[in-house]
Structure formats: C-alpha cells, structure tokens
Amino acid sequence: MLPEPSAPREDRYEAPEVVVARLPQYVRILSRLQQEGAQVVSSQQLGEKLQVTPAQIRKDLSYFGRFGKQGRGYSVTHLLGRLKQILGLNSYWNVAVVGVGRLGRAILSYPGFSPDGFRLVAAFDENPEVVGQEVAGLEVLPMIRLNQEVRERNIAIAIVAVPTDHTQQVVDRLVECGVRAMLNYAPITPQVTESVKIRNIDPVLSLQSMTYYLTDGFEG
C-alpha cells in the first residue's frame, strides 16, 4: 500500500514564498523548545519569538494542514516533525561550495551547517594555486570536475562565493549541471529560470534596511 500523502501536492505551492521563508525559523524555535522539554506552545508564544502576530502564526501554519486545537496550543513534537518533513529536513542535503577564497574558507569551516541538515561535500575553485589544497577536510577540486561531482555525489544545492563578475557565469554553469538551489554571496541578484531557487546573502542590503531607522528623514 502506498503511504498516504501528507499533503496534496497542488496545495503545497499555494503557500507564499514569504511564509515558506519563515518556516525554518519555526523549526529553529520549536527545536529549542523541545530541547528545553516544552510539550505545547501557543501561537502567542510563537508570535513573540518570531516577532509576528499570533494571527499570522495561525495563518502561516494553515497553509500546511491543521495543527493544534483551538485554545490548546500546538504539540511541539508534532509540529516540529511535520515542519521538518514539509521542508525536507528529515535527511541530509549534499552541498557544494564554489569559490574558495577568504569567504569560501570561512563558509567551509563554519560548524553550523551539518547539525541543521546540510553536508558540505565538495569545494571548487578555478584558481590553479587553490585547487588541490585541503580546506576543512575537503580537497579543492577544479571547476572542470563540477558536472561529475554533482552527479556522483547527488548535490542539489550549491553555495556560491565567487567574485561578483564571475557569479552569473558560475550560476549558469551550476544550473547546467543540475543544481537546483543556490545560496549566493556576491552583491548581485543572478538571473535563473523559474525552476531554480536562489537566495542572496547580502550584508549591505541588511545594513541599508536598518539605517532608515537611524535617520530622522530630514537630512539631505
């Protein structure tokens, strides 16, 4: 017998991207609550931690099924389990890092990926002086090995840490090799087809979104 589908596929894509982007924060908060021994959490409590309204919490979760009973809160273990399943976090994802400069090295040495479902399994660079070096236990491979490694190691995700003027080209190359999700550290928004997901880590944009609150709006 086939397992009962957890949610009809056509429903999944109704959740707006902004809601999906919040789900990992739910997972993080619920994991901490579980570690602390909490059994139940209210939308009020979740809202405080996420800095959104309890109504927004209930609306967010309603895209993915029925959780909790009116006035009784959510079961921490059940909600956490379902959200991890929805986000595909029940197993590991193999990740490649492309670009092993200063930033790439910091990324490869960051201990935070593996406890949260991501294994950095390959590192690539086009600089012949960098290729062959060992960084954080990985041998840096030449770009020409990309296609083969992506296939053999089942790499669905790449972290791109190359200079800005190489970024689009590297992203295109990764898409050709079948990589379907990318995290880009260059300060541009690479263009990709709709079936490929990309997120940009951009500290400048984050800083600029705060200066608004530091000004009085009258200068200039």
Residues forming the site for a copy of itself (CB under 8 A): 3, 5-7, 9, 12, 18, 20-21, 23-25, 27-28, 49, 81, 84-91, 93, 95, 102-103, 105-107, 109-110, 112-113, 116-118, 156-157, 159, 180-181, 183, 187, 189, 197, 199, 201, 203-220
The torsion defined by the Cα of 123, 127, 129 and 132, in degrees rounded to 10, comes to: 30
Handedness of CA 75, 78, 84, 86 (dihedral sign): negative
CB of 218 to a copy of itself, least distance (A): 5
Cβ–Cβ under 8 Å, residues 161 and 104: yes
> Which C-beta is closer to a copy of itself: that of 38 or that of 113?
113
> Which C-beta is closer to a copy of itself: that of 69 or that of 102?
102
CB of 42 to a copy of itself, least distance (A): 19
> Which C-beta is closer to a copy of itself: that of 72 or that of 186?
186
> Which C-beta is closer to a copy of itself: that of 113 or that of 143?
113
CB of 217 to a copy of itself, least distance (A): 5
CB of 133 to a copy of itself, least distance (A): 15
> Which C-beta is closer to a copy of itself: that of 129 or that of 216?
216
CB of 71 to a copy of itself, least distance (A): 27
